[in-house]
Amino acid sequence: MEEQQNTRAPEPWPRKEMFEPLHGKAESRVDAILLLIREASTNLPGDVISSLSEQKAKESDGSQAQRALGIILENIEIAYDAKTPICQDTGTNIFHVHYPVGTSTIALRNEITQAVRRATELGYLRPNSVDSITGKNSGDNTGIGLPSLYFHEWEKDHLEIKLMLKGGGCENVGAQYALPESRLGAGRDLAGVKKVVLDAVLQAQGRGCSPGILGVGIGGDRVSGALLAKEQLFRTLEDQSPDPLLADAEAEMLEKSNQLGIGPMGFGGATTLLSVKMAKMHRIPASFFVSTSYMCWASRRKSLVLKQDNTYIIE
């Protein structure tokens, strides 16, 4: 096993087909959504795989950090080949749906729910929906508020469904700060934002399954800011904020976070985060929230583009 890992690292990753988008024609929208769920659960986005592979080469030889990244890469390949979940915590199933004018969101809601039930039966998703008071598991990933659905009408004539599977370990280390934050000396400015971002990474340690990706939502209210932070996790790792100030802050906070030395799994090492993604929204004068959403290395995000004739692209 050790030898195998050594021949695999560093780049190039030998499995080009893992990076290819999936094309085809589905029997129905439910089938296409089911395929989206399968891809999200079993095949990590190519940019994340490449980044993990590059970071493995940067960790010192023989370290626990390097061993952890080696196992992570091996795990990704096993899951891809066997079409089994990359991580058993298939998390909250978050769907962002862009739909053409005239499409029924009631129908889409039913179809997504059907696909989620089917994906649970097939083992792409773990039964993960629990009554908050009785603790009873619904057994099929549905429940009050689950799956998590966001609908946005648009003027294009095709459907786009973005899916994120967000596990509990990383969700639990997300945070929300109200500036000013005296413990950290964080004021109501960009420097203050950076300080609380660093603190969020420090507090998370390895518990969010580092190396992770940190989404940051600046401003808004407690709800909209948190949503903004989480939406950043749909961005590719290469993507930079269109706002030059935030683009610089993203790069700076990635570098500074990695200086903390928390490393993969919190074992110590050079790779604590793979990326920092920031976005801002307006706020009311009295409130200045900074919300963070942490995504584990198993950053399971895929998007489905589905045309009227049910031809699809999943990537």
Partner 1 sequence: MAQTITINPPGITEEQIRSLKKGDMVSISGIILTGRDTAHKYIKDNFLHGEIPEAERETYEGLKKFLHGGILYHAGPVVLNDPNGQPYITAVGPTTSLREEPYEYDVIKHFGVRAVIGKGGMGEKTLSACKEFGAVYLHAIGGAAAYTAKSIRKVHGNFKPEFGTPEAFWILEVENLECVVTMDAHGESLHADILQSSSSAAKEILGGIH
Binding site for partner 1 (CB under 8 A): 64, 68, 71-72, 74-75, 78-79, 82, 84-90, 123, 126-128, 130, 135-137, 139, 167-169, 172, 184-185, 191, 194-195, 198-199, 202, 205-207, 209, 256, 259-263, 265-268, 296-298
* Closer Cβ to partner 1, 48 or 305, answer by number: 48
Instruction: State both tokens at 37.
Output: 């769920």
Smallest separation, CB 179 to partner 1 (Å): 13
* Closer Cβ to partner 1, 210 or 303, answer by number: 210
Smallest separation, CB 252 to partner 1 (Å): 9
Query: Position 42: which residue type?
Result: T
* Closer Cβ to partner 1, 174 or 263, answer by number: 263
Smallest separation, CB 68 to partner 1 (Å): 5
Residue with the two structure tokens 């296409």: 32
- d(Cα 258, Cα 212) in Å, to the nearest integer? 11
Smallest separation, CB 207 to partner 1 (Å): 4
* Closer Cβ to partner 1, 176 or 205, answer by number: 205
* Closer Cβ to partner 1, 292 or 305, answer by number: 292
* Closer Cβ to partner 1, 58 or 83, answer by number: 83
Query: Position 138: which residue type?
Result: S
Smallest separation, CB 23 to partner 1 (Å): 25
* Closer Cβ to partner 1, 72 or 314, answer by number: 72
Residue 137 CA to chain centroid, in angstroms? 24
Residue 253 CA to chain centroid, in angstroms? 18
Of 100, 91, 97, 7, nearest to 56 by C-alpha is 7
Smallest separation, CB 162 to partner 1 (Å): 21
Smallest separation, CB 92 to partner 1 (Å): 14
Burial (CB count within 10 angstroms: exposed 0-12, middle 13-18, buried 19+), residue 277: buried
**At residue 154, what are phi and psi to the nearest 5 degrees?**
-140, 175
